[in-house]
Structure 1
Amino acid sequence: MAGHSKFKNIMHRKGAQDKKRSAMFSKLSREITVAAKMGAPDPDMNPRLRLAVNNAKAQSMPKDNIQRAIDKASANEGDDYEEIRYEGYGPGGVALIVEALTDNRNRTATNVRTAFSKNGGNLGASGSVSHGFERLGLIVYPASIGGEDKVLEAAMEAGAEDIQSGDEEHEIWTAADDLHEVATTLEKALGEAETVKLAWKPNLTVDCDEGTASTLLKLIDALDDDDDVQTVWGNYEISDEVMDKLDA
């Protein structure tokens, strides 16, 4: 998916820092607690919770942290969070979808709007950009799991709709409603995935030059630094050449 891999690489670089890792664990814990409150506290009986736990494990979140997040929901502790989606345009006309979990809608809206306005973007109304995306299930495996043929065969047998293989990873796409079933089947064939989540896949992508990419990534970083923001999706495409220049 355009934007996904590049953003994921940024997250990996940021995740190497203790502060960023702590913030990431906090966001993962919030999603686990919300998922457990919305359904059964047992991952085997609650598909959303299972996805949240799998993602936490993929980011090396300690088991004790995961269990504490589930226990919070079982004890009806912690704040009640609301799911909100924000949509807008970044520099270069890049469409962005921001998913958040918040206990204060006004605070989060102000922070997201400020991040957009300070980094060459404009926050739009609900539905202003999501019409250019598809809501799908995404399962990611590292390239080290095996070649494209091996993963393609396993994915098709599991009922996936599409697979995109690159140098670093295999992205497996499913219908949103099939994500849990496909992920469970793939786990038996390929082991635990690196990422399992609902995603926004763009229908068309925007190529970013160095200037646009630099400002765009600052916007994404600003959004990601907000505790309430869970995920940022975009229709941007940044070439390896441009990324190398930005990393220099």
Structure 2
Amino acid sequence: MGRAFEFRKERKFKRWAKMAVQFTRLGKEIAIAVKDGGPSPESNSRLRTAIQNAKAVNMPKDRVDAAIKRASSKDEKGYEEHVYEGYAMHGVAILIETATDNTNRTVANVRSYFNKTGGTLGKTGSLDFIFNRKSVFRFNPGEMDLEELEFELIDAGLEELYVESDEEGNDVAVVQTAFEDFGKMQKTLEEKGIELTSAKLERIALSTTEVSEEQAADVFKLIDKLEEDDDVQAVYNNMAG
């Protein structure tokens, strides 16, 4: 009974911790969007997307509104976006997207994570041949005819439409387009009344590295450290599977 209680408590704590990290990252996305294009989601597509992503993870509306209000202030300092690239142990490529108000702190932290886990931080652009930036949209397919939808989305730049499973095992429809077609596809999906659960620019691995379970565990030591950092927005790797 005691062990079961402790296990449930640990899982609950991990969910809360994960949610807190998500809210922090989404708050930064909102702030960057407001600084770039103003506080109105109607005229600021990046902000509209950030709010959409916040709703998808049940970020409270008052927190979203507070983030917009803070970012609208002229006294509020903005965030700089930087990308860091390198290799973890066993030759696995790692790409990190950050948003920070202190670049020196961020690069020092990222470098230390690589050093402490046997990895190597590389130069910007060193992984361009491995990762390609794509526009990725996700939504609940329900009873939708995806074959018909696939045909209708071709003019908006559709490259791929497929179904994957989320953490709970539910079907999620995924639309993938080129980086430059983000706005066009987002507008098309909105016009079709499709309620997106996420709309993001993601890094897709063009080639993968095979690793054993033990080697993967080594790589995740680095990934976990990076994902725990408040300045890190996203971490990508090219491990197979």
Per the normalisation by structure 2, the TM-score is 0.83
Alpha-carbon distance in structure 2 between the residues aligned to 1:15 and 1:71: 30
Q: Read off the aligned partner of 1:106 and give its amino acid letter.
A: N
Cross-structure match for 1:66: 64
Which one of 93, 107, 114 corresponds to residue 105 of structure 2? 107
Alpha-carbon distance in structure 1 between the residues aligned to 2:143 and 2:117: 38
Residue 206 of structure 1 aligns to a residue whose secondary structure is coil
1:103 Cα deviation from its structure 2 partner: 1.0
* Correspondences of 1:35-184 after superposition (within 5 Å): 35-142=33-140, 144=142, 146=144, 148-149=146-147, 152-156=150-154, 158-167=156-165, 168-184=171-187
Alpha-carbon distance in structure 2 between the residues aligned to 1:92 and 1:151: 41
1:143 Cα deviation from its structure 2 partner: 5.8
Residue 158 of structure 2 aligns to a residue whose secondary structure is coil
Which one of 218, 223, 226 corresponds to residue 226 of structure 2? 223
Which one of 207, 217, 230 corresponds to residue 214 of structure 1? 217
Deviations 1:186-245 (A, max 9, x none): 23436322221111112112233201211222221110100000011222223xxxxxxx
Cross-structure match for 2:8: none
Residue 200 of structure 1 aligns to a residue whose secondary structure is strand
- Larger of the two Rg values belongs to structure: 2
Say whether the 8 Å CA contact 2:150–2:158 is kept in structure 1. no
Say whether the 8 Å CA contact 2:139–2:194 is kept in structure 1. no
> Would you say how many aligned residue pairs link Structure 1 and Structure 2?
226
Say whether the 8 Å CA contact 2:35–2:78 is kept in structure 1. no
Cα distance change on mapping 1:197 and 1:118 into 2, 3 Å: same
Residue 92 of structure 1 aligns to a residue whose secondary structure is helix
Which one of 202, 205, 217 corresponds to residue 205 of structure 2? 202
1:111 Cα deviation from its structure 2 partner: 1.0
Q: Any stretches of 5+ residues in structure 1 without a counterpart?
A: 1-12, 239-248
Deviations 1:120-165 (A, max 9, x none): 3211111111232222211123465656535534543643222233
Alpha-carbon distance in structure 1 between the residues aligned to 2:47 and 2:77: 17
Between 110-119 and 30-39, the greater mean CA deviation after superposition: 110-119
Q: Read off the aligned partner of 1:102 and give its amino acid letter.
A: T
Alpha-carbon distance in structure 2 between the residues aligned to 1:143 and 1:121: 40
Specify which structure has the higher proportion of helix: 1
Cα distance change on mapping 1:126 and 1:147 into 2, 3 Å: same
Say whether the 8 Å CA contact 1:14–1:20 is kept in structure 2. no
Say whether the 8 Å CA contact 1:15–1:21 is kept in structure 2. no
Per the normalisation by structure 1, the TM-score is 0.81
Say whether the 8 Å CA contact 2:141–2:172 is kept in structure 1. yes
Identity percentage of aligned residues: 38
1:17 Cα deviation from its structure 2 partner: 1.8
